[in-house]
Structure 1
């Protein structure tokens, strides 16, 4: 079984995000970038399926600039067999990314596609669902457990009321949630080996995909500063402030 796992290059989750002075976007110059945490979970799940003998090949794919090769090399160091970079400097929306991933899936013919449920930059939670609509594949979102049995994948997904388990016929798309697994760290020997693993570069034009966006960012602003909290002496004072100042009761 071939597994295609999508990864995204984002600002490292430990970095404090800063808005550009002209409010056109987020400052990326000289900022540490890394693989989206939810994508790391997807890569880890694909590697575990390979270690169990279920997956025969794991292919990592990323849509982004040349520098995104760094994140693909990380996926290769973690255990992916090869990687594909669809190189573009354009700022892509979820639909454009889904179209590109669909074109890659048409080439690779994977039985299972794994994606992080959302990226920590745009935070849209859309690409997996859009890819499912474009491919017509069955999909399980917010997966906290994935079990493959023959031509069926059982996905336990988190919903508002608890958990729901769905059985999907392969080929299928699964988006990963935080509790699915804990990603491993790449070992130094594996990092060195990853440099020799194949990394193919393509372009959206070569895949026949237009990346023109129908969305336009008007302005990006940092959230307003919160005022400092205060301490109250007793419950009576708290109730008084909630009633007369905050006016919430």
Structure 2
């Protein structure tokens, strides 16, 4: 069974995001970029399936700018077998929308015929949380989102999902789409020898036009702004004063 893992290049989660002075978007100049953390968890889970003998090949794919090659090489260094880069934008500030990504992925799925697609539940840059669901809809496949635990046996996968108030266990028939949540696993660090080996692993380059997909944005970003600064707290001298302040939220 092949496992396909889509990955996205995003601003590193340790970096403090800055908004451009003119409010047209986020400043990416000289900013460290890395693999979306949820996608990294998905890559790790796919590799574990291969190590357990439940998958034969792990393919990673990224849709975006040419610089996403670095992200794919990271996934290859972790243990993925080969990669596909679909160049769909020239400007690093251009974010390909979920529906366009899902359409491209659907074409790749048709070519590669994986038995399972594992992907992050959302990207930390736009927090859309839509690509996996859209892909399942386009393919007509079963889906299990927010995976906390995954067990593949034969032609079915049992998934413990993180839901409000606890965990929900579902069983889906393969092929299926699984989206990874934070507690699914702890991704490994790529060793130096594996980083060197990753440079020789196959990385195919394609464009969105090769699949006949129009990735033109349907949404227009009108303005980007910093979140409002949190107001300073106050000290109260007694429980009665605290209760009075809580009654009048505007006074806090």
Please, what TM-score do these two structures have when normalized by structure 2?
Answer: 0.96
Aligned 1:36-115 pairs, distance under 5 A: 36-89=36-89, 90-115=94-119
Name the CA distance, whole Å, in 2 between partners of 1:102 and 1:195: 27
Name the CA distance, whole Å, in 1 between partners of 2:221 and 2:228: 19
Give the aligned partner of residue 125 of structure 1: 129
Provide the alpha-carbon RMSD of the alignment. 1.2
Name the CA distance, whole Å, in 1 between partners of 2:148 and 2:248: 45
Name the CA distance, whole Å, in 1 between partners of 2:245 and 2:152: 56
1:110-141, Cα deviation, whole Å (9 max, x unpaired): 00001100010000110000000001111100
1:62-118, Cα deviation, whole Å (9 max, x unpaired): 011111000000000000000000012243111111111111111111000011000
SS in 1 for 2:108: helix
Unaligned runs of 5+ in 1: none
Q: What's the CA shift for 1:149?
A: 0.6
Give the aligned partner of residue 160 of structure 1: 164
Q: What's the CA shift for 1:246?
A: 2.7
Q: What's the CA shift for 1:241?
A: 2.0
SS in 1 for 2:170: strand
Name the CA distance, whole Å, in 1 between partners of 2:169 and 2:240: 48
Give the aligned partner of residue 34 of structure 1: 34
Structure 1 residues 52, 245: CA separation in 2 closer, same or farther (over 3 Å shift)? Answer: closer
Name the CA distance, whole Å, in 2 between partners of 1:243 and 1:109: 59
SS in 2 for 1:179: coil
Name the CA distance, whole Å, in 2 between partners of 1:246 and 1:24: 32
Name the CA distance, whole Å, in 1 between partners of 2:156 and 2:170: 10
Q: What's the CA shift for 1:233?
A: 2.1
Name the CA distance, whole Å, in 2 between partners of 1:242 and 1:149: 53
Aligned 1:137-152 pairs, distance under 5 A: 137-152=141-156
Say which is worse superposed, 190-199 or 155-164, in terms of deviation: 155-164
Name the CA distance, whole Å, in 1 between partners of 2:248 and 2:66: 57
Say which is worse superposed, 11-20 or 156-165, in terms of deviation: 156-165
Give the aligned partner of residue 5 of structure 1: 5
